[in-house]
């Protein structure tokens, strides 16, 4: 099976998040995912959250990658993988925002929208990734005002896939 990989270098400026979204949207359309599909909106939101985290929390350039054509789980027609690599070796920290907080929901959104996500060391930094199975029903996130949650991982456990039903290890 062929895998199409596209990537974009993202500068350490918050304005780069919008550029990454526009670039990703055009690549999604080029891969056959229509702009008006719920899948496209889900992927753009995931990309926005991961790129924002890289830019805001590291202050360094990052690389956004999208991979199309991966074999999906449970007979799904394929998986789209989004990766953001940055220069920080600090593991991602899932936070739980309270009520009116305007920050701290990024990885919570990723956890709710992606079929799987995780991170791994890459060079002197790390790569955070998430996968969405094409054809799988998309999750509707309930809105909770000030709801408390539990973090599913801490420390090195974050290197494993969350919601792991299948982890892609060979991308070539």
Q: What is the pLDDT of residues 107-132, one digit of tens each?
A: 888 999 999 999 999 999 999 999 99
pLDDT at 137: 56
Whether domain 4-159 has CATH 3.40.50.2300: the reply is: no
pLDDT at 83: 98
Q: What is the pLDDT of residues 3-23, one digit of tens each?
A: 889 999 999 999 999 999 999
CA distance 146 to 27: 36
CA distance 41 to 33: 10
CA distance 118 to 8: 20
* Maximum C-alpha span of the chain: 46
The domain locations on the chain are 4-159
Inter-residue contact 76 to 35 (CB < 8 Å): no
Inter-residue contact 70 to 78 (CB < 8 Å): yes
Tokens coding 142 = 């309930």
Strand, coil or helix: what is 162? strand
Non-local CB neighbours of 33 within 8 Å, separated by 6+ positions: 39, 40, 43, 80, 134
List the alpha helices (DSSP H) in the chain.
16-30, 38-58, 106-113
User: Strands, DSSP E only, in the chain?
Assistant: 4-10, 62-70, 78-86, 116-122, 125-134
> What 8-state DSSP symbol labels residue 13?
S
What parts of the chain have a pLDDT lower than 70? 1, 70-77, 95, 97-99, 101-105, 136-172
Phi first, then psi: what are they for 24, rounded to 5°?
A: -65, -40
pLDDT at 51: 96
Please list the residues that pair with 79 across neighbouring strands.
70, 133
């Amino acid at each position: 099976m062929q895998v199409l990989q596209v990537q974009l270098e993202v500068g350490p400026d918050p304005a780069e998040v919008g550029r990454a979204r526009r670039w990703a949207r055009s690549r999604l359309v080029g891969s056959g995912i229509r702009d008006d599909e719920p899948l496209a909106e889900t992927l753009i939101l995931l990309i926005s959250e991961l790129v924002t985290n890289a830019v805001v929390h590291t202050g360094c350039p990052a690389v956004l990658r999208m991979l199309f054509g991966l074999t999906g789980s449970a007979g799904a027609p394929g998986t789209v993988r989004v990766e953001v690599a940055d220069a920080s070796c600090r593991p991602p920290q899932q936070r739980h925002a309270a009520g009116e907080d305007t920050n701290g929901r990024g990885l919570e959104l990723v956890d709710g929208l992606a079929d799987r996500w995780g991170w791994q060391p890459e060079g002197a930094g790390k790569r955070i990734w998430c996968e969405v199975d094409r054809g799988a029903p998309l999750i509707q996130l309930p809105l909770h005002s000030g709801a408390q949650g539990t973090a599913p991982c801490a420390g090195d456990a974050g290197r494993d896939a969350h919601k792991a039903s299948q982890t892609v290890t060979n991308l070539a």
